[in-house]
Amino acid sequence: MEINANNTQLKSWIEVNEGSDFPIQNLPFGIISTDKKPKRVASRIGNSVIDLSALSDLGYFGELDTVHLFDQENLNPFIEKGKAFTRAIRNRLSGIFLEGNNELRKKENDLHKVIIPIDRIETHLPVQIGDYTDFYSSIEHATNVGTMFRDPDNALLPNWKYIPVGYHGRASSIINSGVAIHRPKGQQKPTDGAPVFGPCKRLDFELETAFITYPGKELGDHISPDEANHYIFGMVLFNDWSARDIQKWEYVPLGPFLAKNFASSISPWIVTLDALEPFRVSGPTQDPEVFSYLKYQGDKNIDINLEVLIQPENGVATTVSKSNYKHMYWNMDQQLAHHTINGCNIKAGDMYGSGTISGPTPDSYGSMLEISWNATKPVKLSDGSERTFINDGDTVIMRGFAEKNGVRVGFGEVSTKVLPSK
């Protein structure tokens, strides 16, 4: 079924600009509102937003039971229905908007209710996140951090190649693209001297993606890598904001806490895993061999181009990193298999961050900590100013897309402005 909606030959009767992240092969899901109507579920083709609650009210989903599924403040009730259902909805959307299908196109009254120009809507956090976990699955990132702070000759900790290391994060402070954040305050410990308190001096982004799950199994059961795909709804871009100086002082022995939980920003449109299947690529060789509960078959990485830009207040954005999700050592299926091997249950709307996605070269590192190599190599922006970390007034923008055979499926962006400490 999904092959159909991903067919590279498909064209929509809705206009799609060249270079758009949202051709008919994407059909992501999000939450929108307009002046006239409160939050509801939507999709998008090009710069046209598709109001799914209107489509449902007008009867376009036929046999698919969408009553009160799309006039919701978040996607959770939709995601609760599972993969077969969300896939059927995406396939149906693909049909409705396919060039040559006039069932909606020729109905002026319906069209007016269903399609809204992108500049007339506001997006909102697409899911109510029950639990949020962050992994640490880029070998380049883990190696860079280990090299800077521990031992260049033993940069990776002994467990790293056995375990897709992860930790729990804060769900309440995950925010939508466009929501500004305040520089966090907290304790920091100068190398020589007593701890001090004040605004963080080393505010950093982390370039990540995150996946969102369907309902899982009962507490006590686990999900194998082969089953994992069935439990993953889609992905977003994820900026896991980090206060490096707060982190350094607080994180032993129980991990990062206030250094992370002040905010994490996501892109508003959840791109389904179905839409990303055509962009699968093979992952790295894993040596030593992983435990059998982590073994997988087939191509499980995804070729997603990623970019980070810093835009100073009233200035122009400068690209500071270009990375790719294909570099990940541990893939999503392994992450989910590991997360559940002890019987931990997952729920619809949970979010799972990849960990910082660094590539092999300095221009592909996924954090300022790595790009500026622990503040020893400042980065020059196009306005001539320099950055080792993020300044007040800066906006950090992340973009991502997959492209193959003339089709580009992307995420749009996650953009967040940093305001001074309150």
What does the binding site for a second copy look like in residue numbers (CB under 8 A)? Answer: 130-131, 133, 136, 157-159, 162-163, 165-173, 175, 181-182, 184-187, 189, 195, 197, 200, 219-222, 243, 246, 249-258, 261-263, 291-293, 338-339, 341-347, 350, 422
CB of 383 to a second copy, least distance (A): 27
CB 355 within 8 A of CB 330: no
81 Cβ contact list (under 8 Å, min separation 6) = 69
CA 149 – CA 166 distance, rounded (Å): 19
- Torsion angle in degrees (nearest 10) through CA of 231, 335, 331, 8: 20
Neighbours of 108 (CB within 10 A): 7
CB of 66 to a second copy, least distance (A): 24
Can 141 be counted among the known catalytic residues?
yes
CB of 127 to a second copy, least distance (A): 13
CA 410 – CA 23 distance, rounded (Å): 9
Give whichever of 130 and 178 is closer to a second copy, judged by the CB atom: 130
Give whichever of 47 and 173 is closer to a second copy, judged by the CB atom: 173
Catalytic, out of 68, 112, 124, 141? 141
Give whichever of 8 and 291 is closer to a second copy, judged by the CB atom: 291
CA 44 – CA 400 distance, rounded (Å): 16
Give whichever of 220 and 298 is closer to a second copy, judged by the CB atom: 220
**Beta-strand relationship, 203-204 and 242-243:** antiparallel
CB of 374 to a second copy, least distance (A): 16
In the three-class reduction of DSSP (H, G, I as helix; E, B as strand; rest coil), residue 236 is classed as strand
CB of 85 to a second copy, least distance (A): 22
> CA end-to-end span of the chain, whole Å?
51
Please name the amino acid found at residue 152.
P
Among candidates 67, 66, 414, 132, which has minimal Cα distance to 270?
414
In the three-class reduction of DSSP (H, G, I as helix; E, B as strand; rest coil), residue 28 is classed as coil
Give whichever of 133 and 323 is closer to a second copy, judged by the CB atom: 133
CA 6 – CA 277 distance, rounded (Å): 8
CB of 136 to a second copy, least distance (A): 6
Give whichever of 169 and 283 is closer to a second copy, judged by the CB atom: 169
419 burial class (0-12, 13-18, 19+ CB within 10 angstroms)?
exposed
| Residues involved in catalysis | 141
